[in-house]
Chain A
Amino acid sequence: MTGLLKLTWVEIKIFLREPLGVIGSVVVPLFVFFAVSGASAPAPASEQLRQPGIDPAFAPALSAMMLALGAVTSLVAIVSIYREGGILKRLRATPLQPLTILSSHVIVKLLFTFVTVILMVLAGKRFFPPTIKVAAWSFVAALMLTTFCILAIGFLIASVVPTARFAQPLATLILYPMLALSGLFFPIDLLPVQVQSVARVLPLAAAVSFLRGAWTGDPWTAHRGDLVVLAVTLGVCTALSAKVFRWE
């Protein structure tokens, strides 16, 4: 336990020492949130209702997905860099449990996701006085759960990626087309029928649907299907990574 805490604390400090990482995982999602909110919300915010047709949950869902996917790609990059540099191997030649070494990275990713989404919610309250009541805490919790589940995809990608150079491009190549089909930008119903059935079971589609619902105040029970998909993603990816994960 001491090992996990110490390792996590060190990894947090190391993460903060790399400016690009902080910009990518904290600043960019915040920026996207404000830019998209600003574009889609009638500014300055007033009593005026939102124009029909503009989804009030689009900006938060998009930023949340950016945040979660940012965490996943960053995890893939870190794991593959640590493997290539022999850092994973060196850590394994200690009394640390292998699971502890990987858990520390999950905790760091979740922590920065949490910080960013809190900043997002607080700033949102400050700059965009809500015309619609937002279930902010439900949304925060939903994002944390979603991120936790799809980080497992990151471990799976990190297990198969050959070298650190390919890590980030490969993660992007897998995740962003999935995001395109997730129903975030256009409804899944508008996709060709064959693609629809695939899109509906994609973990990111479930993530988007869940986050949107959470923002607009849906009870979580209304998203049982999404939660099942996310849980299955977590289970399957973790089990597969446990089989194929390489330490060196």
Chain B
Amino acid sequence: MAAYSTAACGYRSEVVTTSVVRVSGIRKTYGATVALEDVSFEVERGEIFGLIGPNGAGKTTTLECVEGLRKPDRGTIAVLDLDPFRDRRTLQNRIGVQLQEAQLQKRIKVWEAVDLWASLYRAQVHGGQLLERLGLAEKRQAWFMTLSGGQKQRLFIALALISDPELVFLDELTTGLDPQARRAIWDLVRGIKDRGKTVVLTTHLMEEAERLCDRVAIVERGRVVDVGSPDALVRRHCPEQGVVLKTEDLRAEGCLRSLPHVTEVKRDGQRFTILGRGDLVTDVIHCVSEHRIQVTEFRTVLPNLEDVFLKLTGHSIRD
């Protein structure tokens, strides 16, 4: 599968915005291991941008280069028009960071951590209100080691937000959390965006990317394979759609086959699987309603980012 260069396929939102992160051609090696081959992307102000890909693809390395924690061997990075390595201190005051698998001191209390972090930044939001908003108010006096996985992650979000940053980096935020805690975190991340901040996150969960991200960059073996909104990527790479319906009406097959976007109709007794692209679903709905065809089952089979990933890389993201 050929790699798509960002320049060629880069998706641009219609609204003209300024990019807050510009990464161009970065490469990073550790000894003989190439962590990043060639990574380029831009993040626009106010969006949730996701770096998605399997574990070990280079998402975290990319993010840590952008955060100024690692220095790429080659390529340039501008974050809020600053060099993350040279202007580290200035930049740290304007960004909020949550690191993958980070820990705090076992016996630090929640409020102490928030208070300490608040003292490190020029601007800061009210720590108590922040904990309230993140649902940690009752845990103010708790030691870090006694918190659940979800509570720890919420505390790390609090630390990332305490300086009221313009730009927030979240690395594998929901890894290891149960589905309920995960949903709660997603709501929090949407809340960050709603307050006008830009969010850059990494995830290997396609569902998370689809639900949260305005745009994603698919990272695979140290390269950005493609960038775009989840919908646009699906339309671009996996335009095939399917509708499954069940009917006793004998007219159905002929009617469905005559639809313009249909490429294939498979029949299994009374159950039809209609494949096609474009406005397939609308067409099918029109067809059954126009001919008053009695339908007892109706569902769509739509491709998602998972399918895009499989198509672009030739393997599933779960491998």
Interface flag for B1 (CB, 8 Å): no
User: B92 touching A95 by the CB < 8 A rule?
Assistant: yes
Q: Which residues of A contact B103 (CB under 8 A)?
A: 85-87, 90
A97 to B104 alpha-carbon distance, docked (Å): 18
Interface size grouping (class) on chain B: 20 to 34
Task: Tell which of A7-15, A39-47, A55-63, A206-214 binds the partner.
Answer: A7-15
Q: Which residues of B contact A14 (CB under 8 A)?
A: 105-108
A7-B116, A95-B89 known; A89 vs B69 contact (CB < 8 Å): yes
Within 8 Å by CB of A18, from B102, B107, B159, lies B107
A210 to B104 alpha-carbon distance, docked (Å): 39
Q: Which residues of A contact B (CB under 8 A)?
A: 2-3, 6-7, 10-11, 13-14, 17-18, 82, 85-87, 89-90, 92-97
Within 8 Å by CB of B115, from A6, A17, A85, A95, lies A6
User: A87 touching B92 by the CB < 8 A rule?
Assistant: no
A86 to B100 alpha-carbon distance, docked (Å): 9
Within 8 Å by CB of A93, from B92, B107, B115, B143, lies B92
Q: Which residues of B contact A11 (CB under 8 A)?
A: 105
A92-B69, A94-B92 known; A86 vs B101 contact (CB < 8 Å): yes
Q: How many A-B residue pairs have CB under 8 A?
A: 59
- Least CB separation from A85: chain B residue: B103
Q: Which residues of B contact A17 (CB under 8 A)?
A: 107, 143
Q: Which residues of A contact B89 (CB under 8 A)?
A: 95, 97
Q: Which residues of A contact B97 (CB under 8 A)?
A: 93-94
Q: Which residues of A contact B121 (CB under 8 A)?
A: 94-95
Main SS of the interface on chain A?
Answer: helix
- Least CB separation from A95: chain B residue: B92
A10-B112, A17-B107, A93-B67 known; A3 vs B119 contact (CB < 8 Å): yes
User: A10 touching B116 by the CB < 8 A rule?
Assistant: yes
- Least CB separation from B112: chain A residue: A10
Q: Which residues of B contact A (CB under 8 A)?
A: 67, 69, 89, 92-93, 97, 99, 101-108, 112, 115-117, 119-121, 143, 159
A94 to B112 alpha-carbon distance, docked (Å): 16
Within 8 Å by CB of B104, from A7, A90, A95, lies A90
18 interchain pairs, CB-CB under 8 A: A10-B105, A13-B112, A14-B108, A85-B103, A86-B101, A86-B102, A87-B104, A87-B105, A89-B99, A89-B102, A90-B102, A90-B104, A93-B92, A93-B97, A94-B92, A94-B121, A95-B89, A95-B120
Q: Which residues of B contact A97 (CB under 8 A)?
A: 89
A3-B120, A92-B69 known; A10 vs B108 contact (CB < 8 Å): yes
User: A94 touching B120 by the CB < 8 A rule?
Assistant: yes
- Least CB separation from B88: chain A residue: A95
Q: Which residues of B contact A92 (CB under 8 A)?
A: 69
User: B120 touching A93 by the CB < 8 A rule?
Assistant: no
User: A93 touching B108 by the CB < 8 A rule?
Assistant: no
Please give the distance in Å from B313's CB to the nearest CB on chain A. Answer: 29
- Least CB separation from B105: chain A residue: A14
Q: Which residues of A contact B116 (CB under 8 A)?
A: 6-7, 10
Please give the distance in Å from A184's CB to the nearest CB on chain B. Answer: 34
Q: Which residues of B contact A2 (CB under 8 A)?
A: 119-120
- Least CB separation from A15: chain B residue: B107
- Least CB separation from A78: chain B residue: B105
Please give the distance in Å from A88's CB to the nearest CB on chain B. Answer: 10
Please give the distance in Å from A200's CB to the nearest CB on chain B. Answer: 40
The list of the 7 closest CB pairs from A to B, nearest first, reads A85-B103, A17-B107, A95-B92, A86-B102, A93-B97, A6-B119, A90-B102
Please give the distance in Å from B166's CB to the nearest CB on chain A. Answer: 15
A13 to B111 alpha-carbon distance, docked (Å): 13
A193 to B27 alpha-carbon distance, docked (Å): 56
Q: Which residues of A contact B93 (CB under 8 A)?
A: 95
- Least CB separation from A89: chain B residue: B99
Please give the distance in Å from A17's CB to the nearest CB on chain B. Answer: 4
A2 to B116 alpha-carbon distance, docked (Å): 9
List 7 additional A-B contacts (Cβ < 8 Å) besides A86-B102, A87-B104: A2-B119, A2-B120, A6-B115, A10-B116, A11-B105, A93-B99, A97-B89
A130 to B30 alpha-carbon distance, docked (Å): 62
Please give the distance in Å from B70's CB to the nearest CB on chain A. Answer: 10
Q: Which residues of B contact A7 (CB under 8 A)?
A: 116
Please give the distance in Å from B261's CB to the nearest CB on chain A. Answer: 50
Please give the distance in Å from A2's CB to the nearest CB on chain B. Answer: 5
Q: Which residues of A contact B106 (CB under 8 A)?
A: 14
User: B119 touching A93 by the CB < 8 A rule?
Assistant: no
Within 8 Å by CB of A96, from B102, B120, B159, lies B120
Counting chain B CB atoms within 10 Å of each CB, the highest count among A2, A7, A10, A17 belongs to A10
